[in-house]
Amino acid sequence: MTLNTLSRPLLTVLLLAATLALTPALAGGHGQSTDQGKGGYVSLEGLEEFRGLVDLSHGEPRTVLRYLQLVAQMDDDLKAMGLERRIVVAMRGGSVRYLRRDRSPIDLADQIVAEEIARAIADLHARDIRIEACKVAMDRFEVPADGVLEEVNVVNNTFITLIGFQQQGYGMVAIP
In order along its 176 residues, the chain shows pLDDT tens digits of: 444 545 555 545 444 444 444 444 434 444 454 556 788 899 999 999 999 999 999 999 999 999 999 999 999 999 999 999 999 999 999 999 999 999 999 999 999 999 999 999 999 999 999 999 999 999 999 999 999 999 999 999 999 999 999 999 999 999 98
Residues 6+ apart with CB under 8 A from 159: 134
CATH 3.40.50.1000 is held by the domain 52-175: no
Query: pTM (2 decimals)?
Result: 0.80
Distance separating alpha carbons of residues 68 and 74, to the nearest angstrom: 10
For the chain, where are the alpha helices, taking DSSP H only?
8-26, 61-80, 108-126, 135-140, 158-167
CB 155 within 8 A of CB 132: yes
Of the candidates 38, 49, 166, 60, the one whose C-alpha atom is nearest the C-alpha of residue 106 is: 60
For the purposes of burial, counting CB atoms within 10 Å of the CB of 54, is it exposed (0-12), middle (13-18) or buried (19 or more)? buried
pLDDT score at 9 = 56
Element (H, E) at 151: none
Of the candidates 37, 55, 29, 73, the one whose C-alpha atom is nearest the C-alpha of residue 161 is: 55
